[in-house]
Amino acid sequence: SVSWAQAASWQGSLSMPASVEHDSNPRLEADQSEAVTRTTLTPDYRLERTSGLDVLSVGLGGQIQRSSDQRILADREDPRLNLGWQRETETGAVGSSWRYEESSTLAALDETGVETSDGTRKKHALSGFWRAQANARSTLSNTLTYNTVSYDDTTLHDYEDLSLNFDIDYALTARWVPFTGFTVSRYIPADDSAEQASTNYKPVAGVRLALSETWDAELQAGHDVASSDEYEGGWQGGVSLNYSGERALLSLGAERTTTTSGEGGFVEVEQLRGTWSYALSERSSAGLGATWRDSKGAQPNVFSQVDAWLSHELSSSWQTRLSVAYKQRSEDDVADASASVIGLTFIYSHPDI
């Protein structure tokens, strides 16, 4: 109850978006596109307690989806739970987190463009981090992450992913912060999988730039090496440019990176993205977005999306949002697939409950 939370010095917050979307082709299939209307409720409740230098956090949420045609898109109840701990130290911080979530395997379309059925993906994620300021200019950080991912779709492969990342940055000035890092990732397929385990090594170097009070940028580059027959490594890197003005926000980016995937092993992804938003008034805002992604996995494909949205704050607790999007997926020797999505969302939020 609220009285118990206050007595224990817990701070709670609640967010509950509810949306109705009409999607002309939710699976992005080229040969048999069928439309569906889905209703989605996404509750998210968070608790946080600060005790001295320690911060404990608990998150409970999920997604409840109802479909107008279950032949195309199934009804779903996907839970999500996360626990976290962080402690401030004299020179930095240390912490750990655990997260469990279920989601539709169709999420792979938004990640690497791979086509799947509407199954379930289950993911456990355990991570720990350490950060310390070595001197007035240098900061060291280290992160260890362990993930287990399983599918009930036979076209995707269960796997484990273990990664260790080390970064160091050095502030030459308040505006120029060079950094370097090294990441080792290990892909471990399930015992019954025909896939082979592989390791990826990726050193990077770059710089974060505060160009002005409203503009900032980041550049990084590196070359990874992988012990895999499917992917042997290549040049990695990216550039981002961000603007934060009085009424407008702009973010542009381009990157080439690798990620573990249910397709098997490491997948190289090249991506361009851009988002822009503008405050029309104190309560209303509008925005545009665009994404282009070239995935070179087991199903090499090019995915692109453009979207626009308009939001309005109805009160301190209620907000509404109207959105439209167009998606397209291209693959060699297969006809292009496209989809149009229009949605209306109402969001209830309470920062202190």
Give CA 32 to chain center in angstroms. 29
The contacts of residue 63 (CB under 8 Å, 6+ apart) are 40, 41, 42, 76, 77, 78, 80, 103
- Bin 111: left if φ > 0, else alpha if -120 < ψ < 50, else beta: alpha
Residue 8: how many other CB atoms lie within 10 Å? 10
The answer to whether 80 and 101 have CB atoms below 8 angstroms apart is: yes
How far apart, in Å, do the first and last CA atoms of the chain sit?
A: 10
In angstroms, the CA 183 to CA 180 distance is: 10
What pLDDT is attached to residue 115?
66
Contacts of 7 (CB under 8 A, 6+ apart): none
Cα distance between residue 170 and residue 192, in whole Å: 46
Sign of CA dihedral 305, 266, 183, 232: negative
- Tens of pLDDT along the chain (353 residues) come to 333 344 447 899 999 999 999 999 998 888 878 899 999 999 999 999 998 899 999 999 999 999 999 999 999 999 999 999 999 999 999 999 999 999 998 877 777 777 667 889 999 999 999 999 999 999 999 999 999 999 987 788 899 999 999 999 999 999 999 999 999 999 999 877 777 899 999 999 999 999 999 999 999 999 999 887 777 778 999 999 999 999 999 999 999 999 888 888 888 999 999 999 999 999 999 999 999 999 987 788 999 999 999 999 999 999 999 999 999 999 888 888 999 999 999 999 998 77
Alpha-carbon distance of 49 to 332, in angstroms, equals 52
Q: Where are the beta strands (DSSP E) in 134-232?
A: 138-151, 159-170, 176-189, 198-210, 215-226
Tokens of 142: 């280290």
Pair of tokens at residue 230: 């499917």
**CB 182 within 8 Å of CB 168:** no
Q: What integer pLDDT is reported at residue 5 of this predicted model?
A: 40
Query: Helix, strand or coil for residue 2?
Result: helix
DSSP for residue 4: H
DSSP line for 262-324: TTSSEEEEEEEEEEEEEESSSSEEEEEEEEEEEE-SSS-EEEEEEEEEEEEE-SSSEEEEEEE
d(CA 110, CA 303): 8
Which tokens belong to 162?
């273990």
DSSP per-residue letters across 60-110: EEEEEEEES-TTTS--EEEEEEEEEEEEE-SSEEEEEEEEEEEEETTHHHH
Closest CA to 80 of 96, 59, 62: 62
Q: Which of 269, 274, 275, 276 has its CA nearest to residue 293?
A: 269
Q: Which amino acid does the sequence have at 329?
A: R
Q: Which amino acid is at 10?
A: W
Q: Which two tokens stand for residue 4?
A: 């118990």
Given a contact cutoff of 8 angstroms between Cβ atoms, the answer to whether 278 and 284 are in contact is: no
Q: Please tell me the distance from the alpha carbon of residue 26 to that of residue 340, in angstroms, as a whole number.
A: 9
